[in-house]
Amino acid sequence: MNSSMSKTSLLLAAAAGAMLLSAQFAAAQDCKPAHQFSTIESGTLTVAVTTYAPHSFLDEAGAMKGIDGDIAAEFAKRECLTVKAVAVDPAAAIQYVLSGQADITTGDWYRTAERAKAMNLSAPLYVDQMGIYSKDGLSKVSDLEGKSVGTVQGYLWVADLKALLGSSLKLYPNSVNMQQDLFSGRIDVAVDGYSTGVVAEQKGALKGYQVKAAEPDDRVKATKEAAQAAFPYALKATELGAALDAQVKAMHEDGTIVKILKSYGLDGTAGDTGEARLLQ
């Protein structure tokens, strides 16, 4: 290649690059946010991302993913914000928001009255359904009677199942320990989050066990009134909250949230949240 052709190619490449940057800048300038509000870092939505698939995690490239992550990313897109994802331990996520290090956090955070005392909670994103893990595809609470059942401490259904099953119910500190006992036959059935079970089942991690959403039963309130998940945000960030609520409502209405749920292998029914409520 002669030097004149080389210089010409370089000039053309530089011009093309400049045009691309100019187009991207123009597109950014053309983006009109639907709402006016402040974030910790201007033009950026800072998100404390926990690891709790399929709700919240970072992919290998460090991008925010999961049901919560995709909803948050869509919110940012609609409000002309870039996303800054910060990986955090679940135990520290809420503190990141309270201390002003993150605008919101992802991770299937329940709308509870106790949590609402310390921070604000967005409109409901989806409901966290109670799942029954068994070899036979059990889906009724009555199917649990007479069996050895395990579940994880802290879930909404624990008190009701304890009243119903008594000593037949075994509590675990986490899902991993519970599943180990399930696979080894030390318990007959496990009760855990439906969405996490669906993902595990799809990956072949449940070793022949099936996951079914629990059918409504008056004896276990969580089967009739499942917990609603939300984005926690600071008490003083009222304008951000108004924008979150408006965009979450719009995403319910235009089918975006159901589409996101289905993209993670769920049937979309968790998007039917009903009216906003706080768990007592």
In a structure prediction context, what are the per-residue pLDDT tens digits for the chain, which is 280 residues long? Answer: 444 444 555 455 455 444 444 434 444 468 999 999 999 999 999 999 999 888 999 999 999 999 999 999 999 999 999 999 999 998 899 999 999 999 999 999 999 999 999 999 999 999 988 999 999 999 999 999 999 999 998 788 999 999 999 999 999 988 889 999 999 999 999 999 898 888 888 888 898 999 999 999 999 999 988 889 999 999 999 999 999 999 999 999 999 999 999 999 888 888 999 999 998 7
Identity at 168, one-letter amino acid code: S
List all residues 6 or more positions away from 154 whose beta carbon is below 8 Å from its beta carbon: none
Can 44-126+229-271 and 130-223 be said to share one CATH topology?
yes
Domain ranges of the chain: 44-126+229-271, 130-223
Cα gap 55→70, rounded to integer Å: 9
Decide which of 3.40.190.10, 1.25.40.10, 3.40.50.300, 3.40.50.880 is the CATH code for 130-223: 3.40.190.10
pLDDT of residue 31: 93
Contact indicator for 190, 178 with CB cutoff of 8 Å: yes
pLDDT of residue 104: 98
Instruction: For tokens 């991008």, name the residue.
Output: 63
pLDDT of residue 29: 62
pLDDT of residue 20: 43
Homologous superfamily, domain 44-126+229-271: Periplasmic binding protein-like II (3.40.190.10)
In eight-state DSSP terms, residue 137 is -
pLDDT of residue 3: 42
